[in-house]
Structure 1
Amino acid sequence: MAAYIAEALPEASTSTPTAPRTYAWIVFALTFGLLLSDYMSRQVLNAVFPVLKAEWTLSDTQLGSLSSIVALLVGLLTFPLSVVADRWGRVKSVTLMAALWSLATLGCALASNYNEMFIARFCVGVGEAAYGSVGIALILSIFPAHLRSTLSSAFMAGGPVGSVIGMAFGGVIAAQFGWRWAFGAMAAFGLALVILYALVVREKRLCPHGANGRVAQRAARPGLRMIFSGLFASVSVIAAYIGSGLQLFIMASMLAWLPSFLNRYYDLPTDKAGVGAAVFILIGAIGMIVCGIVTDRLSRVKAERKWTIAMTYSLTSAGLLLFAFQLPAGPAQLVLLGAGMAIVAGTTGPAGAMVANLTPAPIHATAFATLTLANNLLGLAPGPFVTGLIADRVGLMDAMQMVPLVALGAVAAFAVGKRYYAGDLKRLQAQQH
């Protein structure tokens, strides 16, 4: 019966595109570009882990903390800052946040010890805190609802793509000119994009119906009561938050430690290890987009399938990665690692679509902030730190063999979400009507 209801009901359509089509794609490109800058600034650190470890005599736990502090700040601040963005204006918020993380990345280039680097990375986390949630909410508000899985996965693929660029170019720049120039290059790219974004993207062009449209838009801005009542109104949306966060634990660990893994077990120098890790992350980014497109196509008639597809991505990626880390260093291990990376973050599209379907449009930035909160507190923040903590005790290889097991928790959460989805969606639509 539940499956029949889910098939009969359309997915919650909670917004109507307002921007002209061409301009909408320009806004998508610039917003995606800033997400690249976000992750370039965040992940360039991983490419210079071996250099910092040797120069400052750091432990793996300290290296992991420099990576995890950004994700921790994103997790803690994304919710309150997204509430502010929903009420103050998403375009202004995006511009301010990007300027802050770019300047903080410049501060990383000037750091002279671990403590100064930690403070600079802290500021990077503050700047990046709400960007993912506000950016995707802005994008979803100017495109049709039936593209949600595709747009969510394509936008979030900017994370791995930015990580690829940050690690690959960061490693090369560090090898040629020193690690400080790697941070400086990422900061310069971010500041250039901020200026371009500020010149091109305007709130009034995203709502082109004149003053009346902007007045209506302001009137639709949610109150705090509506925000808090809508974010956790159903079991299935909570399950989407949890499942997404747990699955990204694996992705975060791979992002942070693959350069060190290739450096230690394949004897690659810093620049080649960064480029090698970037290839795997690029595979993950392409996989995210493909998985999002596949999800939209397979669930167009029956939306409930998104949950089953998400569970399939989790289980398959876990199996591939577990098997890969059991093999000795060599081509077979690398092939299986690539296959696992291709689908390890495939759940981002289904999870993003479910959150959009199960929450009202006026609170989408805050809803995605809650998703970002779960992603960071359950996955992106603890992933690098916990892996480094375990690596200090049993070695990096044994630590990475344990990481894919977290997918079992993600599968359990998605299974709960699937069970309650039909009833929760029907109740939301009744409330909107």
Structure 2
Amino acid sequence: MNQVHRPPAPTVNWRTHLSLLLLALVYVFSYIDRNVIAILIEPIKREFGASDTAMGLLTGLAFGVLYAVMGIPLGRLADQGFNRRNMVAMACGLWSLATMACGMASQFWQLMIARMTVAIGEAGGMAPSMSMVSDLYPKERRSIAISLFMMGPHIGMILAMALGGWIAQQYGWRATFLFFGIPGLVLATLLWLIVKEPRRGGFDAAPATAAQSSQAAQPLLAQLRGLLGIRAFLLVCLACGLGGIAGYGYGIWGPSFLMRSHNLPLAQAGLLFGLASGLGAASGAIFGGWYCDRLTRRDPRWQLRLPMIGAVLGLPMGFAFLLWPAGNWQLGSLAIPHAMIFAVGFGFFNAWWPPLCYAATSHMMAPNQRALGAAMLNLFLTLFGAGLGPLISGALSDLFVGRFGPGSLRYALLLTLCLLGLTALLLGRAIQSYTHRLDALKAS
């Protein structure tokens, strides 16, 4: 019997970590450029005379639909051999220019078009990056590597809210978009010049089988049907979609909630929400990734058990943040609402499920399916989460205003947060199917 010759496995070295760092920094600025609009909702509303529903459309669906739909063919392109490093660098350059264009819009429709262009650019960043990170590290270190990569949203939250709020208050909302667009152009250049394309599946125990290779060569719709036919993957996608509605609605409207219900000025609302949510989530992501890698060495079911627990524990923290009565600690001239302690707790626990679900997806896919699998999970997370989360929360706020007045946003966010309970339920249902999928991949 002829033995299949494989090149020696790659090693993890300083260049591996540098590549992860640059990819993570690109993701930081993708999240800033995507979400800095959250701290700018109130001044944009005043300038263009927009409703909460219109702002929910601008911050959510206008971005989420294009981001999710474009990510699928671009993810397939990454799986079919296109240089992923080049894809991410070009995408980063495009969304950075589009972010700067947001700051130059003089009409609401121009801002909408620029926002949609940001979505098109960012669609080419996430799935190829996730595929690269999965090929940079072996399986036993992949959860912590992906968790470190996915600290991007949490660091981005701090910078977007805290620094973005200060820039907007000092120089106007347009300057905020211009300021945050420039670093992405620098990062795109550094990524192109420094990072090398990792070998696909280099750390995997066996090369892709003939059956897996033929699946990757199928038409796109056939591939997507095949992926959604993996029961565990479908349940994880649905869980992330529902959790995304809750998480994105909370993240986009959180600063406005503090301004309306706790009477904080724009810069202070951005600073406190960004620091509390970002620091809580960053520490939660690191802890979740590290602890998951430890637990899954003994039992792979913890890859989905831990994010399920995080969703369950995050829910009461989010409720407490929204319902806690007004009252402040005074730190010099800075008034800190007592409710902010629960924003830290929500960020910590809610940060467990997104990176661990992406890591679970990488485990469920063959090496030449990972970018498309990540793009498919991204479709659910962004189409439902980024697309519908802010829109649903804004529309509910407008609906409730006759009954609750300025407190309408509080009850809109409470209602959307309840979806985290369904996220936990679906992840629990996926555990058994997940282990069956891992066994099937080992046997193939």
TM-score using structure 1 length: 0.89
State the match for 1:171 in structure 2.
165
Aligned-partner Cα distance in 2 for 1:417–1:49: 37
In the alignment, is residue 253 of structure 1 matched against residue 253 of structure 2? no
* Correspondent of 1:380 among 386, 394, 398: 386
Maintained 8 Å contact 1:16/1:144:
no
Counterpart check, 1:316 vs 2:313: yes
The code of the aligned residue for 1:306 comes to Q
Contact 1:17/1:141 (8 A) holds in 2: no
Give unmatched runs, 5+ long, in structure 2.
1-6, 203-212, 328-336, 401-407
Out of 190, 193, 196, the position equivalent to 2:190 is: 196
Per-residue deviation, 1:419: 2.6
SS at match of 1:329: coil
1:332-343 superposed matches below 5 A? 332-343=338-349
C-alpha contact 2:306 2:352 (8 A) present in aligned 1: no
SS in 1 for 2:99: helix
SS of structure 1 residue aligned to 2:50: coil
Does residue 63 of structure 2 align to residue 63 of structure 1? no
Is this contact kept in 2: 1:227–1:363, CA < 8 A? no
1:390 offset after TM fit, Å?
0.4
How far 1:368 sits from its partner (Å)? 0.6
1:162-200, CA deviations, whole angstroms, 9 ceiling, x for partnerless residues?
Answer: 122122211111111121111011111111111111211
Structure 1 residue corresponding to 2:352, chosen from 346, 354, 363: 346
Deviation at 1:90, TM superposition (A): 0.5
In the alignment, what sits opposite 1:53? 45
**Aligned partner of 2:65 among 62, 67, 72:** 72
CA contact (8 A) 2:276 2:340 kept: no
Q: Which residue of 2 aligns with 1:33?
A: 25
What TM-score results when the alignment is normalised by the length of structure 2? Answer: 0.86
The letter for the 1-side match of 2:187 is L
- 1-structure distance, mates of 2:442, 2:8: 16
Distance 1:231 1:385 in 2: 29
Is contact 1:18-1:207 (8 Å) kept? no
What amino acid is the match of 1:51?
P
- Which residue, out of 398, 413, 421, partners 2:426? 413
Deviation at 1:338, TM superposition (A): 2.0
1:9 is matched with which residue? none
CA distance in 2, matches of 1:228, 1:206: 20
Alignment match, 1:263: 259
- 1:331-360 Cα offsets, whole Å, 9 max, x none, are 442222321221113112321222111110
Q: Percent identity?
A: 26
Q: Quote how far apart the aligned CAs of 1:206 are.
A: 9.1
Q: 1:133 to 1:204 in 2, by over 3 A?
A: closer
Aligned to 1:82: 75
Structure 1 residues 165 and 16: alpha-carbon distance in aligned structure 2, compared to 1, 3 A threshold: farther
Structure 2: distance between partners of 1:416 and 1:84: 32
1:289 to partner: Cα distance = 2.0
Counterpart of 2:313 in structure 1: which amino acid? Answer: T
Residue identity in the other structure for 1:340: F
CA distance in 1, matches of 2:164, 2:338: 27
Q: Residues 366 and 301 (structure 1 numbering): CA distance in 2 closer, same or farther, change over 3 Å?
A: same
Q: Which residue of 1 aligns with 2:275?
A: 279
AA of the residue aligned to 2:90: L
Q: Which moved more, 1:223-232 or 1:73-82?
A: 223-232
Q: Which stretches in structure 1 are left out of the alignment for 5+ residues?
A: 1-14, 209-218
Query: How do residues 1-12 of structure 1 correspond to structure 2 at under 5 angstroms?
Result: none
